[in-house]
Amino acid sequence: MSALEKIRFDEKGLIPAIAQDFVTGEVLMFAWMNQASLSLTIEKQQAVYYSRTRKKLWFKGEESGHTQKIKEIYTDCDNDVILLKVEQVGGIACHTGRKSCFFQKLNGNNWASVAEVLKDPKEIYG
């Protein structure tokens, strides 16, 4: 049985994927993968996700240049979640121009931004 055959995709053919900084351990982002994107990620050693809104493969950084080089790939005990340990090229994983997509911290009953914008998204995406 191949590595991909062991993965348990959901009824839509998807699996959650978490990208984590290989050096610091910081969680950078969450996205979805399908069998094709996971296969390409393994083959190219670069993160490829599946965009549910665009209904197509999404090569991380294809527009921004902020690619993710794969260092290690894990699955959980149930084989239904993927963890990618990555080198985040350019230091920005989030489309908001921040290092991580997880920059909003619950403070009482409000969400507070706890990370600075490293680059204006208008400069990244035009």
114 within some domain? no
Find out whether 26 and 20 touch, Cβ atoms under 8 Å. yes
In a domain, 74, yes or no: yes
Question: Which CATH number fits the domain that encloses residue 20?
Answer: 3.10.20.810
- On whether residue 38 sits in a domain, the answer given is yes
| pLDDT tens track for 22-57 | 999 999 999 999 999 999 999 999 999 999 999 999
- 104 domain-assigned: no
Look at residue 106 and tell me if it is in a domain. Answer: no
For the chain, the farthest-separated pair of C-alpha atoms sits apart, in whole angstroms, at 49
Segment 80-86 shows an average pLDDT of 98
Mean model confidence pLDDT for the chain? 97
Residue 48 lies in a domain: yes
Domain that holds residue 54: 4-91
d(CA 30, CA 84): 10
Q: Could you give the C-alpha distances from 75 to 24, 25, 93, in angstroms and in order?
A: 19, 16, 21
Query: CA angle at residue 42 from 41 to 46, to 5 degrees?
Result: 40
Q: How many domains does the chain have?
A: 1
Query: What's residue 60's pLDDT?
Result: 97
Q: Is residue 68 part of a domain?
A: yes
pTM of the model: 0.94
| Domain assignment present for 99 | no
